[in-house]
Amino acid sequence: MLGTHNEASMKRPVIPCHRIFTRYGQSGTPVSDWFPHLGGVIDDIAVVRSMFCKEVNHIPAAIESATGHQGRLLDHPSLGS
């Protein structure tokens, strides 16, 4: 039946994360147990913790994320340039 669930009956996150995060370095950046050696160099790495994209489809969103421009045209330099 639609509408029978309320927010209290739903558990978040929907897909649980079974990773253990440990804070490393002077920055105290949390690093997952999937990357055990990354903690030793975490203060030398730039970590992007937030991004915003106006596109809703995958390919245009990937282009916007890489170039900073909306649209399907690849006439702008990308993040790796």
Q: Determine contact, residues 36/46, Cβ cutoff 8 Å.
A: no
- 60 occurs within a structural domain: yes
Buried b (16+ CB within 10 A) or exposed e, 27-38: eebebeeeeeee
Model confidence pLDDT, tens digit, residues 14-58: 777 789 999 999 999 999 999 989 999 999 998 888 877 888 888
- 33 occurs within a structural domain: yes
pTM for this entry: 0.52
Number of structural domains (the chain) is 1
Write out the residue range of the structural domain in which residue 39 sits: 21-67
Residue 29 is predicted with a pLDDT of: 93
- 76 occurs within a structural domain: no
Q: Determine contact, residues 57/70, Cβ cutoff 8 Å.
A: no
